[in-house]
Structure 1
Amino acid sequence: MSEWREISGNVTAAKGYKAAGITAGLKPSGAPDLALIVSDVPAIAAGVFTKSCVRAACVDFNRQVLQSGVKVKAILVNAGQANASTGEEGWRNAVECAELVQKALGIEEGVMVASTGVIGKQLRMDLMRPGIVKVAEALSAEGGDNAAKAIVTTDTVTKSIALEGTISGHTIRIGGICKGSGMIHPNMATMLAFVTCDAAVAPALWQDMVSRVADNSFNQVTVDGDTSTNDMLVALNNGQSGAPEITDAASPEAKQLEAMLTEVGVYLAKAIARDGEGATCLIEVTVSGASDQAAARQIAKTIVGSSLVKSAVFGRDPNWGRIAAAAGRSGVYFDQNKLNIHLGEFVMMADGSPQDYDRNAASNYLKNPTVQIAVSVGDGDGVGTAWGCDLSYDYVKINAEYTT
């Protein structure tokens, strides 16, 4: 049995958190567009951010907050304008937003900010200023769902999860929300993820856990190969569970907490892939037999990110040659005579040789909401999984009309 269970509440499931989501008028549609997540007490913070050299102001601002070592009480998220490629004015606006949150909450602790939307558009500060006051007044322990609704852009569904487990005799909870369905190819897509936890963890260990989780979940998702200017995963931990502080990375307590955190990350990452712009199915690629985990992950992400593989899945064409070709160009060397490819239960290639299979049945398999591709490249211990989606006509339509 699992050492944890899924519960309701997402980012407010953990002890000592409130959240809110409101309409501030930042989106032309009039949909909710401003979210706030707040810890009752100062929390340690960890983050992983885009490696793009064209970054949103919020990315640089949050890095500065983390580098300062201050504890954090709030995360403000706006949708509508990305505040990326906005120059000095964009930086000043990010700073002002954090200061406005501090004022609205009556706090001096750190505030992190996040933005998503159209690149090159300044934040509507005439709307942000009253909006921050309004969203602060709306905070509640039941506000997680509203926050999840307020951070989306082209997403068709909200994405959230919360888990509860027991560590050292204390109930531990972790919750998360994220947004993203296009411009997804994180290199730490547009992808934003926010996690809350009430365990007590040494700050450096918490950052290490969050970084590893990003590598095993969000960094293994690709929808269209485009890394965003705003990608970030931010995780708060306020220690309000009452459990003893975890300081030893090798302890059973640390391993369970990281496993729970990984479960949250993988769930949200798969939700992003499943909701890819125009997608009709989730594609899950698992690679085994590689020299190490990093090599396996690289092959898996290359396959799931291949436009030819994605197009074939959308067309229900079991063209496994595209899978083989993608694996071969991944940059990871393997002996092609040890290549094995499975499409669901169908064996397409065994030890480098093509196999007979029922083409109609395999085509029908590709109509499932989740398509699983298993690839083995040798006898190594490396195993890695990546998630993506098919490439449909609607992807082009959605992105051709994004700003119009």
Structure 2
Amino acid sequence: MDFKIIDNGVIAPKGFKANGVKEGKYGVGLIYSEKDCIAAATFTTNKVVAHPVNLSKEILKNNRDKIRAIVANSGNANCFTKNGYYDAKEMIKETAKLLNIPENSILIASTGVIGRKMPMDIIKDRIKNAYNRLTEKSDNNNTAKAIMTTDRFPKTIAVEFEVNGKTVKIGGIAKGAGMIAPDMLHATMLCFITTDIKINNSDLTKSIQNAVDKSFNNAVVDGDTSTNDTVFVLANGESGVEYKECAELFDNALTYICIELAKMMVMDGEGSTKLMEVCVKGCASEEDAIKASKSVVRSLLVKTALYGEDPNWGRITAAVGYSGVEMDMDKMDVLISDFEKEVYLVKDGIPIADEGTKELELAEDIMKNDKIKIVVDLKIGNYENTSYGCDLGHDYVQLNSEYTT
């Protein structure tokens, strides 16, 4: 990599502050820039849309070059609720008053239970508490924890690189453990990214969309697309480095940030114990590569085999087969690895890891690891895609059967 990993997430880039508070099931996180930011975003394509998504879209439509802050709450999705739009506006109004910035310079996001009215007294209290903490110091981890729901751990990362003696930083936080599924155009969770690069809105929009397509849009926990899915990226230009000086490097670093956060979400999938990285290559088209890799990570049979540490390659080939991609089963390879050792399960369409073979023994040993890579080579083209998924076990059913109770 031409960049290095650093600490402090969204407060690593110059000119950003953040803090948050989580008390009980309700939390609020605030991210603040000392200067106006260029902003870009992607949102859910679910037709049941949360009020904060609609409000943020409105704000970005006319004010995407003067964004100063993000306010996000956990515990309530503010979706399918009467007067929820006005509750979202009230959250922004309260934040604007405390930060002394215009209301139309603040983006908003929510996560939690759908269909319940926002407990505005509680949420406004959390906003004040988060602001009080922000005035004392910045704390990236507090901010990441404030937006968690069923997440088991906060998700955060930052990187930096140098351009002509100046340093550019990118930092991010995210939340997501359930209701994670890829969509061809947008993201499927909450993710907030800050950077001090100097960039215009067009370039930032292209860069974040490309990063989202390669990361969050390839991540599957349970196949459900949320009503609140949002990715925000804010760029305040404080590094003094122009995007055109380092376009490829910046794009690669931003994509890396998103891929690592996507992996954290998948690894934190509700009740999950294992991460699977599925690369399908040798495809006839990019569309086929995407369809096939997503089909494998979506497969309930593959996910349960992963949980049971069973190298059942038949389920993998079946998932590729029913994806509808162009393929010849007599040509394909299937192999698995733990990123150190690997073994072919199928080679040139011939089963290798059969009962009683050394290959099957090695495959069973590999499946005991918590990170598994599956590679499928269709050998009919030059396109490939990598998707990310997790196993599916007893805890997922328990967590989601009791979610609102």
Q: Which residue of 2 aligns with 1:152?
A: 148
Quote the offset at 1:360 in angstroms: 3.2
Quote the offset at 1:31 in angstroms: 5.6
Q: Which residue of 2 aligns with 1:206?
A: 204
Q: Which amino acid in 2 is paired with 1:313?
A: L
Quote the offset at 1:340 in angstroms: 1.1
Q: Which amino acid in 2 is paired with 1:219?
A: N
Of stretches 133-142 and 361-370 in structure 1, the one that deviates more from structure 2 is 133-142
Separation in 2, partners of 1:164, 1:333: 41
Q: Which residue of 2 aligns with 1:253?
A: 246
Matched, 1:227 2:225: yes
Q: Which amino acid in 2 is paired with 1:139?
A: L
3-state DSSP of counterpart to 1:114: strand
Count of residue pairs the alignment pairs up: 392
Which residue of 89, 99, 104 maps to 2:93?
99
Separation in 2, partners of 1:106, 1:59: 23
Structure 1: state its 5+ residue gaps. none
Q: Which residue of 2 aligns with 1:56?
A: 50
Q: Which residue of 2 aligns with 1:297?
A: 290
Which residue of 315, 331, 338 maps to 2:308?
315
Of stretches 216-225 and 339-348 in structure 1, the one that deviates more from structure 2 is 339-348
3-state DSSP of counterpart to 1:46: strand
Native 8 Å contact 2:333 2:376 kept in 1: yes
Q: Which residue of 2 aligns with 1:22?
A: 21
Q: After superposition, what is the alpha-carbon deviation per residue over 1:233-275, rounded to whole angstroms, capped at 9, x for unaligned?
A: 11111100111x325xxxx611100000001000000000111
3-state DSSP of counterpart to 1:373: strand
Quote the offset at 1:181 in angstroms: 0.8
Q: Check 1:96–1:31 CA distance in 2 against 1; reply closer, same or farther (3 A cut).
A: closer
Separation in 2, partners of 1:286, 1:195: 26
Q: Which amino acid in 1 is paired with 2:151?
A: D
Matched, 1:197 2:205: no
Q: Which amino acid in 2 is paired with 1:167?
A: V
Matched, 1:110 2:100: no
Q: Which residue of 2 aligns with 1:138?
A: 133
Native 8 Å contact 1:9 1:161 kept in 2: yes
Of stretches 334-343 and 394-403 in structure 1, the one that deviates more from structure 2 is 334-343
Q: Check 1:209–1:190 CA distance in 2 against 1; reply closer, same or farther (3 A cut).
A: closer
Separation in 2, partners of 1:212, 1:338: 32
3-state DSSP of counterpart to 2:38: strand
Matched, 1:326 2:325: no
Native 8 Å contact 1:21 1:32 kept in 2: no
Of stretches 78-87 and 360-369 in structure 1, the one that deviates more from structure 2 is 360-369
3-state DSSP of counterpart to 1:286: strand
Q: Which residue of 2 aligns with 1:7?
A: 6
Separation in 1, partners of 2:400, 2:188: 12
Separation in 2, partners of 1:85, 1:69: 26
TM-score (norm 2): 0.93
Native 8 Å contact 2:198 2:236 kept in 1: yes
Separation in 2, partners of 1:260, 1:293: 23
Separation in 1, partners of 2:60, 2:173: 20
Native 8 Å contact 2:94 2:124 kept in 1: yes
Quote the offset at 1:297 in angstroms: 2.2
Separation in 2, partners of 1:16, 1:78: 23
Separation in 2, partners of 1:389, 1:361: 21
Q: Which residue of 2 aligns with 1:380?
A: 381
Matched, 1:44 2:38: yes
Native 8 Å contact 2:187 2:217 kept in 1: no
Q: Which residue of 1 aligns with 2:399?
A: 398
Moved segments of 4+, more than 6 Å: none
Q: Which residue of 1 aligns with 2:360?
A: 359
Separation in 2, partners of 1:144, 1:125: 25
Native 8 Å contact 1:181 1:190 kept in 2: no
Q: After superposition, what is the alpha-carbon deviation per residue over 1:22-73, rounded to whole angstroms, capped at 9, x for unaligned?
A: 13x5xxxx26611000111110111111110001111111111221134211
Separation in 1, partners of 2:291, 2:249: 26
3-state DSSP of counterpart to 2:330: helix
Q: Which amino acid in 2 is paired with 1:259?
A: N
Quote the offset at 1:190 in angstroms: 6.5
Separation in 2, partners of 1:332, 1:110: 45
Quote the offset at 1:129 in angstroms: 2.1
Separation in 2, partners of 1:185, 1:4: 29
3-state DSSP of counterpart to 1:173: strand
Matched, 1:215 2:216: no
Q: Which amino acid in 2 is paired with 1:393?
A: H
Which residue of 128, 136, 142 maps to 2:123?
128
3-state DSSP of counterpart to 1:161: strand
Q: Which amino acid in 2 is paired with 1:57?
A: H
Separation in 2, partners of 1:49, 1:294: 22
Q: Which amino acid in 1 is paired with 2:403?
A: Y
**Alignment root-mean-square deviation, CA:** 1.6
Q: Which residue of 2 aligns with 1:34?
A: 28
Q: Which amino acid in 1 is paired with 2:18?
A: A
Separation in 2, partners of 1:335, 1:233: 38
Separation in 1, partners of 2:78, 2:120: 11
Native 8 Å contact 2:275 2:372 kept in 1: yes
Separation in 1, partners of 2:48, 2:27: 24
Separation in 2, partners of 1:235, 1:355: 46
Quote the offset at 1:189 in angstroms: 7.5
